[in-house]
Structure 1
Amino acid sequence: MTGSVQPATTATAGNPIAHAAGSVTTALHGWPPAVTTAILFAAAIFVAAVLQAVLVRVIPKKVLAKHPVLTIVVRRTKSILFMFIAVILLGIVVPESPIGVRAENSVLHVLSAVFIALIGASVMVSIDVYTTYKLSRRPDNIQADVMARKHVTQWQVLRRASHVLVLMITIAAALMVFPAVRQYGVSLLASAGAAGLVVGLAARPVLSNLIAGIQIAITQPLRVEDAVVINGQWGWIEEITSTYVVVRIWNWQRMIVPLAWLLENPFQNWTRDSSELIGTVHWNVDYTVPVDKLRDKLTEIVHSSKLWSGKVVVLQVTHALATTIELRALVSARNSGEAWDLRCYVREQMIKYLQAEFPGALPKQRVEIEGQRVPEGETVLMHDHVNAD
């Protein structure tokens, strides 16, 4: 045992941590190798915890209070910082432990893979922190701000796509640390047979959705909180992931739509360039209705509502049918939700006005009965004539 420890101690005399580990191994000469190794590993982890606590407390609280982004970074990277320090210390301690060359190589390979995984985790945390900071600066009324919805959509989609890309690279780099896996990967990449074709076909749906996500982030056919109609379902874009979109339907249900489907099929986006909408309301009324008075009443109703955006209020006769005429009102609102509520409000108030002021203008059926004359201004019900016969 002494012969195996002395060369390592000489080689690492310039490294105080390695020198201390070698000294502990020498002092515990005669102990079972597993116990000595466990003590060295526990000491390395303890020192890592102490160093992590010291490094975190070095940052003054006043600095954290002035920089909220730095606060998020410190909170999110505490565990990663500890694991970084622990892996580095374990990598220094392992060559000084009495576990043998074969076990030492295996442990070092595992530590290398963990170190690569920690780098990938650090990159993903950095992406999360930066995007969170960007999204935190958006305005409160995101539905009314097209640029804000554009930026939110871009950052959310790019964040998820970056996560997938970093995860794939990290896993590939970690697996390449192990010789057996590296050789298998090289042989798999070198083979241009059916296996490669099967893997490519199997990965096609995932890759197509990832590419579609990047296209949506760049071209912006839809954004978060856009009002859309997809397959006859009206709702709002609630979330855009790296592979699918969550649509919040008006009845609070959720519809999941793959990103690739959105790029291959048509859909309606009511708030593509602006959140403001013009709502329409239709009525069928009798020919005797005074349209000018209805137009004045519509203006009064709309002006009294907080849902109106203050831009458009129009009443027009759009159709003349055999028994009725069709009136169409156009009213503007700040977003799709308020447009729907304003349409319902206008419809209800106009019906009340017609019932109270012009009940004769409500739709009715005219029938001519031979041999009888109805005095002008009177109404005869059909069932009276049927019973008389």
Structure 2
Amino acid sequence: MAVQSALGGGGWGALLESFGLIFAAVAAGWVLYYFLFRVLGRFAARSDTALDNTLVRRWQGPASLLLPLLGILLVAPALRLPPGFLGIFRNLFSIALIGGIAWLLAGTVFALRDLVLIRFDMKVRDNLKARAVHTQVNVLVKVALVVIFIVAGASMLMTFEKVRQVGFSILASAGIAGIIVGFAAQRSIATLLAGIQIAATQPIRLDDVVIVEGEWGRIEEITLTYVVVRVWDLRRLVLPITYFLEKPFQNWTRVSADILGTVFLYTDYTVPVDAVREELRRIVEESDAWDGKVCGLQVTNASERSMELRCLVSAVDASLAWDLRCEVREKMLAFLQREYPESLPRVRAELAGAEPMQSPA
């Protein structure tokens, strides 16, 4: 009798009939989903625009949830659920609908991101503009996703009456609690704002070559709270996003990727500088790492023991510049050892007042 009273006047028959309608609505939604995306998939495959393919691919998952929910919504007036089941059903339906809409919005954001980034290839040699666009778009996408998930989570909680009342109570007494939360979240909010500022001003971009904490590396990932730098030996240096707004660092690709490289040689005063300069020109002209722009050799210092020669060469990016510097250093040393071994640094000394050695009788 207690179960019959909970089920209401219709009893088990009304409950089974309602569940049958729900099952039929879900099945109809899935059938519609199958045929709809089969047609859309063929249309996108024949289309020349990337937007069609991207949207179909990103909307396919959310549609598998939203179309059955749409079917349930259409048959909802005909459902005769008991009051106990009706409250649970409404909560579950609302949560699923909010989740499906959030999923659809997130898929749309990803589709728009893919549509923008597909036009900017980061694998090309001159990828300055591409890196700027990738950095801005990825950070903005993360901001949009955070907003979508926060709104969706809050909407799901508000579907429960008890949670909603607790929320109203917290809002009504938000005096001191709001101040405490504000102080507690101050650093987090500052970090989020720093991430947005990085996206807007772009002191760093994805794949930028930077020197941070004495390490040479490339910007591998930029999030709202931290930045990952891939160091030359494949280590990852994780830094807070505020680091790049509060501390100085070197960005070797801020304006362009090409860079100058230097190699210092220390030789004796007797070395023929013109011959060494000609050898430097021959070495860089035979190297694939040289971009053909800068090649020079100058005497930059002279001490009491040696002469300092600076070789200045250029390359299209920092990696090739490093390889070119190593190549120039190795071949110049080999040239000096082979052609002018007497011109390597040496120490001279003169012994005053020493008696000449007598040859034995």
Q: Same fold (TM over 0.5)?
A: yes
Q: CA deviation at 1:196?
A: 2.2
Structure 2 distance, partners of 1:253, 1:133, is: 32
For residue 304 of structure 1, the aligned residue among 286, 291, 312 is: 286
Tell me how large the CA RMSD over aligned residues is: 2.3
Structure 2 distance, partners of 1:373, 1:286, is: 29
Structure 1 distance, partners of 2:343, 2:355, is: 22
Give the corresponding residue for 2:31.
50
1:119 aligns with 2:101: yes
Q: Note closer, same or farther for the CA distance 1:341–1:373 as it changes in structure 2 (3 Å cut).
A: farther
Structure 1 distance, partners of 2:198, 2:241, is: 8
Give the corresponding residue for 1:149.
131
1:64 aligns with 2:45: yes
Give the corresponding residue for 1:10.
none
For residue 226 of structure 1, the aligned residue among 198, 208, 224 is: 208
Q: 1:338-358 CA distances to partner (integer Å, 9 max, x unpaired)?
A: 011111011001000000001
**Contact 1:175–1:181, Cα closer than 8 Å, also in 2:** yes
**Contact 2:58–2:108, Cα closer than 8 Å, also in 1:** no
1:186 aligns with 2:150: no
**Contact 1:65–1:71, Cα closer than 8 Å, also in 2:** no
Structure 1 residue matching 2:294: 3-state secondary structure: strand
Structure 2 distance, partners of 1:162, 1:59, is: 27
Q: CA deviation at 1:40?
A: 3.0
1:261 aligns with 2:247: no
**Contact 1:144–1:335, Cα closer than 8 Å, also in 2:** no
Letter in 2 for 1:54: F
Structure 1 unaligned blocks of 5 or more: 1-28, 375-384
TM-score by length of 1: 0.83
Structure 2 distance, partners of 1:217, 1:60, is: 35
Structure 1 distance, partners of 2:290, 2:19, is: 73
Give the corresponding residue for 1:39.
20
* More off after superposition, 179-188 vs 260-269: 179-188
Q: Note closer, same or farther for the CA distance 1:185–1:142 as it changes in structure 2 (3 Å cut).
A: farther
Seq. identity, %: 39
Letter in 1 for 2:27: F
Give the corresponding residue for 1:196.
178
Give the corresponding residue for 1:26.
none
Q: Note closer, same or farther for the CA distance 1:120–1:30 as it changes in structure 2 (3 Å cut).
A: closer
Structure 1 residue matching 2:293: 3-state secondary structure: strand
Structure 2 unaligned blocks of 5 or more: 1-9
**Contact 1:94–1:104, Cα closer than 8 Å, also in 2:** no
Structure 2 distance, partners of 1:373, 1:56, is: 104
Give the corresponding residue for 1:362.
344
Q: Note closer, same or farther for the CA distance 1:60–1:154 as it changes in structure 2 (3 Å cut).
A: closer
1:249 aligns with 2:249: no
Structure 2 residue matching 1:363: 3-state secondary structure: coil
1:238 aligns with 2:220: yes
Give the corresponding residue for 1:329.
311
**Contact 2:41–2:56, Cα closer than 8 Å, also in 1:** no
Give the corresponding residue for 1:315.
297
Give the corresponding residue for 1:158.
140
Structure 2 residue matching 1:166: 3-state secondary structure: helix
Q: Note closer, same or farther for the CA distance 1:30–1:146 as it changes in structure 2 (3 Å cut).
A: closer
Give the corresponding residue for 1:353.
335
Structure 1 distance, partners of 2:173, 2:243, is: 33
Structure 2 residue matching 1:288: 3-state secondary structure: coil
Q: Note closer, same or farther for the CA distance 1:365–1:287 as it changes in structure 2 (3 Å cut).
A: same
Q: Note closer, same or farther for the CA distance 1:370–1:31 as it changes in structure 2 (3 Å cut).
A: same
Q: CA deviation at 1:193?
A: 3.6
